[in-house]
Chains A and B, each alone.
Chain A
């Protein structure tokens, strides 16, 4: 079943994505940004609300707009696009708050793990990394495309 998601705009370098969340509390411009970390080839994914008045992105906001699943499905579409243009990249992500990290876990469980055979997903626990399992509280995640050695 095709998941409902928002129409998305994309930057020329395929690292910034934007869409408009429409729901109970109005319209919110969401931005998904992939930025390189200190480890070469490893990108951090950030999701935030863009404020057109201040021209700032709030990475801690809670819009509570009643469209969580549609937003998560849209972020997954952004991941597919990012990997299409950066197939060797690995994406590292964690929530800006524990609630948001939990949201990412739900998003991965619902929209990524079961809907794609293309990705490998790992979760970080206090003592190290393991393959992503549902219902486990991770502090961060790694998402990458499967490669030849799988």
Chain B
């Protein structure tokens, strides 16, 4: 990989705001850090 200064965030490299808004909406009341922690706790508790 090579650095390209034209890729520094700006007008030509705008993230998809619709997707970010949608992601934030999908993540509302959905804390993924807690969800993953609970999955791991469950896995640990059921390990033989």
Contacts and interface: CB of A to CB of B under 8 A. Distances in A.
Contact of A142 (B2, B7, B12, B36): B36
Q: Across chains A and B, which 4 residue pairs bring their CB atoms closest together, nearest first?
A: A11-B7, A9-B4, A35-B15, A129-B35
Contacts of B15: 33, 35, 44, 46
Given A12-B8, A92-B23, A130-B39, A59 B16 contact: yes
Contacts of B1: 7-10, 17, 77, 81
A48 B20 CA distance: 13
Interface of B: 1-5, 7-9, 11-16, 18-20, 22-24, 26-27, 31-33, 35-36, 39-40
Chain A binding surface, main DSSP class: strand
A140 interface: yes
Interface residues of A, number: 45
Contacts of A136: none
Contact of A31 (B13, B33, B39): B13
A131 interface: yes
Given A10-B1, A48-B16, A122 B39 contact: yes
Contact of B20 (A12, A16, A35, A131): A35
Contacts of A140: 23, 26
A104 interface: no
Given A10-B4, A59-B19, A128 B13 contact: no
A44 to B, nearest CB: 5
A65 interface: no
B19 A44 contact: yes
26 contacts: A8-B1, A11-B5, A11-B8, A12-B5, A13-B8, A16-B7, A31-B7, A33-B13, A33-B15, A39-B31, A42-B33, A44-B15, A46-B15, A46-B20, A48-B16, A55-B11, A56-B14, A59-B16, A59-B18, A77-B1, A81-B1, A92-B23, A92-B32, A122-B36, A129-B39, A131-B39
